[in-house]
Structure 1
Amino acid sequence: MNVNELEALPAHELHDRAVRYAVRHGDLGFLWDLLKVIPAAEAAAGHETDADLTKVSALLSDAIAAGEGELGEALRPVYLEYLREHPEA
């Protein structure tokens, strides 16, 4: 998929492709990086965030839904960068 086709995809599709590829290839680094940027992306999307990252279950829940709505749009650059690095995804 070329860059223009990737950029035309909705955020939820970018999320699904990136996360599915990372899980399938055991790319824990990307998944960990995604978890780390979610609080900042939520803040950028105008959502109140709980800065306590010890709430792992809430963070994982956010990661699953991280392709939807304003959060998905805030994370769009993260997904695009990862998918550009892995064009086979």
Structure 2
Amino acid sequence: MTDFAELDALSTEQLRERAFAKAREERDLGFFWDLFRHLPTAPETEERELADIGAAVDDAVSLWREFTGHDYGDNEPLIRARFIDYLSKNGAE
């Protein structure tokens, strides 16, 4: 287990890189799903029909860009906490 203070001292980008690397290494799709599931959705997304696959793909791409573009906005504290929690429980590299 990794010390909280050590992880908290890292930038959000460093935490993201470590958490993503660990999740890929462990093939932990649940980690990625949890992140996507907890991001807020736009009202129009909530009302959209499940059959609208094209829009669902667009939403997934937007989420991926948000993660890889490193623009977390108001969600950054929550995302940092998720990265730190994951790395604390699963070991940081």
Output the TM-score relative to the length of structure 1: 0.71
Do structure 1's residue 50 and structure 2's residue 54 form an aligned pair?
Answer: no
- More helix per residue: 2
Instruction: Answer whether contact 1:7 1:80 (CA < 8 A) is retained.
Output: yes
> What root-mean-square deviation, in Å, do the aligned CA atoms of Structure 1 and Structure 2 show?
2.3
Q: Which residue of 2 aligns with 1:27?
A: 28
Instruction: Kindly tell me the number of residue pairs found equivalent between the two proteins.
Output: 80
Counterpart CA distance in 2 for 1:13 and 1:75 is 12
Structure 1 or 2, whichever has the larger Rg, is: 2
Q: Which residue of 2 aligns with 1:65?
A: 69
SS at match of 2:39: helix
Instruction: Answer whether contact 1:15 1:67 (CA < 8 A) is retained.
Output: no
In the alignment, structure 2 segments of 5+ residues that lack a partner are 47-55
Which structure is richer in relative contact order (CA contacts within 8 A, separation 6 or more)? 2
Output the TM-score relative to the length of structure 2: 0.68
Counterpart CA distance in 2 for 1:7 and 1:60 is 23
Percent identity of equivalent pairs: 28
Q: Which residue of 2 aligns with 1:9?
A: 10
In the alignment, structure 1 segments of 5+ residues that lack a partner are 40-48
Counterpart CA distance in 2 for 1:35 and 1:80 is 16
Runs of 4+ in 1 over 6 A off after TM superposition: none
